[in-house]
Structure 1
Amino acid sequence: MSGPSPGASRRLGIRLMLALALLVAVASTVVPTARGTTTPTTADPLFGVNMSFFGPGDAMVTRPATRELFRSWGVPIVRVPLRDRFSKNGAPVGDDQLLSAMRAVRDIGATPMLILRGPGSGRTADDVKKTDLHLLDLIHQVFGDGTAHLEFGNEPDLPGTDVPAADYTVAWNTVVPALKSRYPKAAYRYVGPASWRVDHDYVKYIGAFVAGAMPEPDFLSWHEYVCGTAGDSGWKQTCEGHLANWQTHVTDVEMTVQGKIGKQLPYFITEWNADSSAAGPVYTAGNADYLASWTTKAIDRMRGLRPAPAGAMIYTATDHGGFGLVTGAGQVTAQGRAFHQAMTNSSTVTRPKAEPPSQPASPIPGTEPPSGTQSGTDPSSGQDSSSGTDSPPASPPAGTPSPAENSSAATPDVPKATGNQYYVAPDGDDAKGDGTRAHPWATIQHAADRLTVGGTGATVHVADGTYAESVSTTKSGHAGGYLTFEAEHPGKAVIAPKTSAFPFESRGDYVRVTGFDISGAGGAWSGVLIWGRHNVIQRNHVHDVLTHLASKDCDGSPGGQAIGDDASASDNAFLGNRVDHVGPYPTACEYVHGIYPSGGADVVQNNIVSQTSGSGIRFNHNAKGATIANNLSFANANHGIYITGGDSTADHFVITNNIVRDNAMYGINVRDDANGPHNQYRNNLFFDNHKGRYGLDNSKEFTPPNTSGTLDADPRLVRYTADGTGDYHLTAASPCVDAGTTTGAPADDLDGVARPVGRGVDIGPYEFTR
């Protein structure tokens, strides 16, 4: 299909009749008539809309007052179908009409989501490419090299359209590379497959697409409608009960994509509303108030999705078959009023930068400030930090946790708790609390949503207790001040969601997570997942991740890990964490690991990892220039440490001072594409690894280049047990004492003891204290 369409069951005659009924019954608020008569806000991306554009008279295109309304609301994204015809047998849509539709989005100040032609209706991939290149030229006329999201087709899997996933993927692989090369400097992002649904077997469509898509989509997309009310006497219960499926769909997509390509992708919900058919009772005039109530509940449900969507566009902005937020005559419907109310009550709504207020409309409390200091500000910055801006600085200052050779300064210098202070406790209250120590919030997620980062950062202090929630944040700190989530007493604040694919997920930069007990027993595929740069995951205990995976699924199993970062990430540090019970251990799963960095220049130091179905520590994908030092990796079903190249040649690794013992395969395995000439393997200790010390490609023992100081000996720990319950400090008789190298070594050990204590650095996570 070539534009927004909730389903094949809509019929034009029904749409027109219901539009007239709704126009009379629920219209009440008249749109402002003069541009500039309202003060715009900028809403979070949940409040995007679809332009219906089913005719040349679409109100958003033709009525300045309608555009002013959506501009004043601060609608952040508008999705536009670049149609070839206004109806199946209707008049062709000319270039001037397409340009007018796009200019309307530009006038509103929104980011465009433009639906390109996709496969279907007998079009070949080459036909689609020719048309889409022409459409791209039109897009460039209006938006230049600025940001635009380009969605490839619409509902190819809709029954009646029935474009197989393989055909859609072939068309994507033919068309998108040509589009990307047309305007290489443009900030255009490519989105697909715009599935009409993702429940049951339909999620396989996305899985098949991402497995073969070249290039990889910048965003996935699908649609959500819940009612299906035709002939259903209990339709209200259906409409509300099925809202709970939205999180299931998100999780299913994430798990499917993870299984296909070993990572997750961000996503849009590019259409959503109550019902996909105007034939049901939901959109009748008599049920307008119910639809408004349902819309409020739906937005609340969408706000809770984890991971959160990059955007969600309601169907539709202006009247089309009863679906509109605004009628063609320019009046706001009951659903439109509910939508707008949700926008204005959103904690993420801010004024645009071009029109800053003297005081924020809804200041966010943070600390208990001294007299004269506004709550939620960073006194040391001299600036109001409650503007709601979540982005990191456009050009963050230099300084990374990249490894420093021949130095003990490889560990990044992470500041302590600074900046704006927030507090969370099990007996807190998200509704009535203000995030101060005296009146804490109840959930970490609420703090993540409400906090602001000042000139010296921000810290969320989490009190002892169990938090049955997953946490997802897109906010960032900066080089001068981290955004820190910190357990007040290490190991006493437990994050244990009952169901979640990702107990803790961060898409920001300069974020620090420290001291938590994080359980993945609720079906997690990753205990802590990081997407950004310069983040620190420190002194957490992450366990029971992917234990739900059936042994039969370990033959080419989906990927997962206790702690990891994405291939797009870099310069992250994983320091002093305890990781155990990952996957259906002792069953071996090749793609299930303990600590699994995939970015560049990451640092892994002082960690203790055991009982994983894969390797204790594994690097893959974009891994290069990393430091792996002073870790203990034991009793894993594959290797202790595993280095692969994946998407790049893994070189400039520093692998030093590690203890690897009792692993089912090699102590340290190196795949041929990771055997870089500048990698250093120094002062590592091996003991009782089933296949030997250093392995090459899982098949043969070898001595890698730049190897020195290797020990084969019992490390003589205080009380070694393979189940992770032992005491892994060194004894006085340990050959690890003073046997390490300063190359890559952290400045202190897992207990915080400064290195070295004696004549030299010790091997492993602990220094022997005499």
Structure 2
Amino acid sequence: MYGPSPGASRRLGSRLTLILAFLVAVASAVVPTARGTTTPTTADPLFGINMSFFGADDAFVTQAATRELFRSWGVPIVRVPLRDRFKPDGPPVTDDQWMSAMRAVRDIGATPMLIIRAPGSGRTADDVKKTDLHLLDLIHQVFGDGTAYLEFGNEPDGPDAGVPVADYTAAWNTVVPALKSRYPKAAYRYVGPASWRVDHDYVKYIGAFVAGATPEPDYLSWHEYVCDTVGDSDWKQTCETHLANWQTHVTDVEMTVQGKIGRQLPYFISEWNADSGDKGSVYTEANAGYLASWTTKAIERLRGLRPAPAGAMVYTATDHEQFGLVTGADRLTTQGRAFRQAMTGSSTVTRPKAEPPSEPASPVPPPTTPASGTRSGTDAPPEDGSQVDSPPTPTGSPSPTGGSSPEEGSSHVDSPPATPSSESPSPAENPPSGGPGASQDTGNQDTGNQYYVASDGDDAKGDGTSAHPWATIQHAADQATVGNAGATVHVADGTYAESISTTKGGHEGAYLTFEAEHPGKAVIAPKTSAFPFESKGDYVRVIGFDISGTGGAWSGILIWGHHNVIQGNHVHDVLTHLASSDCDGSPGGQAIGDDAAASDNAFIGNRVDHIGPYPTACEYVHGIYPSGGADVIANNIVSQTSGSGIRFNHNAKGATIANNLSFANANHGIYITGGDSTADGFVITNNIVRDNAMYGINVRGDANGPHNEYRNNLFFDNHKGRYGLDNSEEFTPPNSSGTLDADPRLVRYAADGTGDYHLTADSPCVDAGTTTGAPAGDLDGGRRPAGKGIDIGPYELAR
């Protein structure tokens, strides 16, 4: 929503504590305390807000009490729509009115996100550039060279705006360079393309955009709304179920961008709420208790996203068609009370005094973290004030409005959507129709089909809904239907003594996902199996499981296809059954790996330990052991393997191995070999390799390709040295730089895997990495970089 547009938007535990404490300290230091109020209590970027600004009388702009309320909360980011007109037939918004809105943000010490013009509604790139340069001059008058996020348009890919990606990209390439050159010293960051949802079409849109955008966007942005069936008997179930899709959306975008430009980008969720369109009944007094509960769950979901967003702005701050946080000057709504409780830990509202701060406060920049199913958000109307038609009705669902949307500034605007939750969805009171495992969506299939597994479920009598889950993951894999928007199998906490093998897969932008509802709480531990989890499909994700192989497994997770994602899993105790004599041959095995015919797979943020009969050395038993081309291995911690922590072989070309920690392995920390062909094009950067029995990084002769890059890796106490060539001599590989020999100074190093492997403040790893190959977020989901530069290893130091 551009603030809801009546038609356009009918649409990280100690580390987290340290980050929040630091940000609170910053906010306290730079934001003056008004008389009768408390110092802001949070600068968590997940607690950003949207200013509605549908009129010059917006309470945020005109009421000191409203501003002081949000200032006392420590709101870190305020998104402002710089509208052309408040009403379609009204006069243009004046420079003074725009600047009043911006000063209101500056006065509460928040960082602005300002929606500037983009193509659409008949505007040419030259028109957009002229207007945006004028707006930029006003922005500079208010914020100087300080931090400001400039969002290039609002929901350009929505059916109402109808801006093809080629046109949006062309306008970006024309306008943004002009803006950047206007004030070259300013800390302005450019954001787009502010989609009203994440679905298959948006994933394609964002892929084409990042591939063609010059300059590259500093951040991506999109909106999240989840209620699409208000009025139907199971609408509350839908509102909760769709929260589970938010991580899917993040991963879809992350992998698409990685595939297009070879790395990820940070992102904002620049609008979120429960609902949009004319589903305002979510916000009525009758549903107050439910809305408060939903808001709390939504915020928990936001906190659990990996990588974490740079910010998330709830829609909207002040009273607007029932879904504002504040009504009047300082009266909290039901959702406002829930939002404040989550921010400050207090449900008590201290009515602030009316005096504004004595001086404008300096903006507090939020963290710059790297880097949807249902129709969401009530975005703001077009800047030119023209009428916006209502969006096309999804197949199988009634028309949201029965006609066109209200015009900008008109009296009726549909209510917006809500925040995410890490909790598992509540059981459906009324399971959706459509047979076993039918989608939780009723009519709108944008979020993909949703299926549920619980250890106390029933394969025979269950139907795969949250109310009647199946008992086994294999049964869900067999029954799942992967549609145009993919499918997700949600696995509840418990132990599943089964092995899973599937040949199904998804497609670009629409994955088949197997996800533990709570990371590490869904345990896959078959009593006898060679492969606890085996996938022969493409576009499959396996997220958050605890997987062991004590039943005689040779591999914890084995992948045969391409474009798969293995993320956030703990794989351990695989091949521990091997006898020492078995290591003389070639048993072959690993915790996680893929086949030589595979390609473009990602192994992100996994913990791997106790692989093989460790500490006995087995040359062919490894931790993460990919054999395909163009794979990405990032943010993993691997230790106590009988072979190498990370090993490549066979068709290994063009892989990225970045920001991993590989320690206390019986062979090498990282080992690359050519196998079936000469390995070349490797990017090996920002890794910590220590206490390994042989070399830190070993390169076999057939993998010493001319284009391999070895940059900013740290070595410590590896028995044979840093870089080894063919296991026999230490060498300096070509294209190497930034190599460190030093104790990485981790919080609490323990070779047995029980330590705390975060960095200390005096670690030589801090700010010593390279951007080459670096993932956008760290293992905790925090931003990268968090300081002046990228840190070496899987964790960024909390600033």
TM-score (norm: length of structure 1): 0.52
Match of 2:273 in 1: 273
Residue matched to 1:610: 648
Match of 1:60 in 2: 60
Counterpart residue type for residue 203 of structure 1: V
The 8 Å contact of residues 69 and 330 in structure 2, kept in 1 or not, is answered as no
Letter in 2 for 1:320: H
| Contact 1:243 1:298 (C-alpha < 8 Å) held by counterparts | yes
Q: Give identity over the alignment, percent.
A: 62
Say if 1:162 and 1:39 are closer, same or farther in 2 by CA, change over 3 A.
same
1:710 Cα deviation from its structure 2 partner: 8.5
Measure how far apart 1:231 and its partner are. Answer: 4.2
1:96 corresponds to 2:134? no
Backbone CA RMSD of aligned residues: 5.0
1:224 maps to: 224
- Please give the secondary structure, in 1, of the residue aligned with 2:209: helix
User: How far did residue 640 of structure 1 move?
Assistant: 4.0
Deviations 1:685-722 (A, max 9, x none): xxxxxxxxxxxxxxxxxxxxxxxx998xxx7xxxxxxx
State the partner residue of 1:456. Answer: none
Indicate conservation of the 8 Å contact 2:154/2:195, yes or no. Answer: yes
One-letter identity of the residue aligned with 1:670: P
Q: Cα distance 1:9–1:79, how it changes in 2: closer, same or farther (>3 A)?
A: closer
CA displacement at 1:180 relative to structure 2: 1.1
Q: Which amino acid aligns with 1:609?
A: R
CA apart distance, 1:318 = 0.2
Q: Is the 8 A contact 2:197 2:222 kept in 1?
A: yes
Report whether the alignment pairs 1:197 with 2:197: yes
Match of 1:722 in 2: none
1:388-467 alignment runs, 5 A limit: none
Cα shift at 1:89: 2.4
Report if the CA contact (8 A) 2:257-2:265 is conserved.
yes
Cα 1:519–1:158, aligned 2, differ >3 Å: closer, same or farther?
farther
Partner of 2:162: 162
Deviation at 1:345, TM superposition (A): 2.7
Q: Is the 8 A contact 1:620 1:643 kept in 2?
A: no
Label 1:518 to 1:203 Cα distance change in 2 as closer, same or farther (>3 A): farther
Determine helix, strand or coil for the equivalent of 1:281: helix
Superposition map of 1:231-630 within 5 A: 231-345=231-345, 525=565, 547=594, 558=600, 560=602, 585=627, 588-589=628-629, 591-592=630-631, 609-611=647-649, 613-615=651-653
Letter in 2 for 1:48: G
| Deviation at residue 95 of structure 1 after TM alignment | 0.5
Q: Distance in 1 between matches of 2:281 and 2:596?
A: 43
The DSSP-based 3-state class of the residue aligned with 2:130 is: helix
8 Å contact 1:275–1:282 — kept in the other structure?
A: yes
Task: Give, in whole Å, the separation in 2 of the partners of 1:633 and 1:271.
Answer: 44
Residue-pair matches, total = 468
Q: Pick the aligned partner of 2:672 from 626, 630, 633.
A: 633
C-alpha distance in 2 between matches for 1:43 and 1:747: 35
Q: Which amino acid aligns with 1:210?
A: V
Compute the displacement of 1:298 (Å).
1.1
What is the deviation of 1:215?
1.2
Are residues 1:185 and 2:185 paired? yes
2:308 aligns to what SS in structure 1? coil
* Deviation of the 1:742 alpha carbon: 8.8
CA shift in 2, pair 1:611/1:285, >3 Å: same
CA distance in structure 2 between the aligned counterparts of 1:542 and 1:147, rounded to whole angstroms: 50
The Cα of 1:223 is off from its aligned counterpart by 0.3
Distance, in Å, in 2 between the alignment partners of 1:747 and 1:40 is 40
Residue 633 of structure 1: CA displacement?
A: 2.5
Q: For the residues of structure 1 that align with 2:301 and 2:131, how far apart are their CA atoms?
A: 38
Q: Secondary structure at the match of 1:670?
A: coil
Would the aligned equivalents of 1:470 and 1:502 in 2 still touch at CA under 8 Å?
Answer: no
CA apart distance, 1:617: 6.6
Give SS of 1:282's match.
helix
Q: How much has 1:306 moved relative to structure 2?
A: 1.4
Cα 1:561–1:306, aligned 2, differ >3 Å: closer, same or farther? closer
Task: State the distance in 1 between where 2:676 and 2:604 align.
Answer: 15
Q: Distance in 2 between matches of 1:327 and 1:258?
A: 42
TM score, norm. by length of structure 2: 0.51
Q: Which residue of 2 aligns with 1:214?
A: 214
Distance in 1, Cα, partners of 2:8 & 2:225:
13
Go from structure 1 to structure 2 and tell me whether the alpha carbon gap of 1:594 and 1:64 turns closer, same or farther (over 3 Å shift).
closer
Residue of structure 2 equivalent to 1:353: none
Partner residue in 2 for 1:670: 706
- Contact 1:524–1:546 at 8 Å: present in 2 too? no
**Contact 2:272/2:313 (8 A) holds in 1:** yes
What is the distance in 1 between the residues matched to 2:323 and 2:51?
11
Q: Which amino acid aligns with 2:672?
A: S
**Alpha-carbon shift at residue 245 of structure 1 (Å):** 1.1
* Cα offsets for 1:606-651 (capped at 9, x unmatched): 8662346533976899xxxxxxx996433655544545799xxxxx
The residue identity in structure 1 corresponding to 2:102 is M
Q: Could you tell me which residue of structure 2 aligns to residue 727 of structure 1?
A: none
Which residue in the other structure is 1:386 paired with? none
Q: Find the counterpart in structure 1 of residue 483 from structure 2.
A: none
Alpha-carbon distance in 1 for matches of 2:669, 2:248: 40
Match of 1:79 in 2: 79
* Deviation of the 1:211 alpha carbon: 1.4
> Which SS does the other structure have where 2:327 is aligned?
coil
Does residue 119 (structure 1) correspond to residue 119 (structure 2)? The answer is yes
Q: Residue 30 of structure 2 corresponds to which residue in structure 1?
A: none
Match of residue 46 from structure 2:
46
The structure-2 alpha-carbon separation of the partners of 1:667 and 1:98, relative to structure 1 and needing over 3 Å to count, comes to same
Aligned residue for 1:224, secondary structure, equals: strand
Contact 1:80 1:115 in 2 (8 A): yes
Q: Deviations over 1:224-260 (max 9, x none)?
A: 0000135423211111111111111111111211121
Per-residue CA deviation, residues 317-376 of structure 1 (Å, 9 max, x unaligned), is 001111100113531111100110011139xxxxxxxxxxxxxxxxxxxxxxxxxxxxxx
**Contact 1:577–1:608 (Cα < 8 Å) also in 2:** no
Aligned letter for 1:345? G
Alpha-carbon distance in 2 for matches of 1:267, 1:125 = 25
User: What displacement does 1:747 show?
Assistant: 9.1
CA separation in 2, counterparts of 1:62 and 1:273? Answer: 25
How far did 1:37 drift?
2.8
How many angstroms apart in 2 are the aligned matches of 1:546 and 1:45?
Answer: 36
Aligned to 1:136: 136
Residues 518-576 of structure 1: CA distance to partner in whole angstroms, max 9, x if unpaired? 977799747699xxxxxxxxxxx9966674x996xx6xx64645689xxxxxxxxxxx9
Q: Check 1:115–1:524 CA distance in 2 against 1; reply closer, same or farther (3 A cut).
A: same
If you compute each CA radius of gyration, which structure gives the higher value, 1 or 2?
A: 1
Q: Quick one: distance in 2 between partners of 1:501 and 1:258?
A: 18
Residue 681 of structure 2 contacts residue 709 of structure 2 at CA under 8 Å; is this kept in 1? no
In structure 1, the gaps of 5 or more residues are 12-32, 347-388, 393-464, 473-495, 505-516, 530-540, 565-575, 598-605, 622-628, 647-655, 677-708, 716-735, 753-770
The Cα offsets for residues 466-492 of structure 1, whole Å up to 9 and x where unpaired, read as 9979999xxxxxxxxxxxxxxxxxxxx
AA matched with 1:247: Q
The 8 Å contact of residues 594 and 609 in structure 1, kept in 2 or not, is answered as no
**Structure 2 unmatched runs, 5+:** 12-32, 347-364, 369-494, 497-514, 521-532, 546-553, 570-587, 607-618, 637-643, 660-667, 686-694, 712-723, 734-738, 744-749, 752-799
- How far apart in 1 are the matches of 2:112 and 2:620? 43
Matched-pair contact (CA < 8 Å) for 1:521–1:545: yes
* Pairing of 1:168-179 with structure 2 (within 5 A): 168-179=168-179
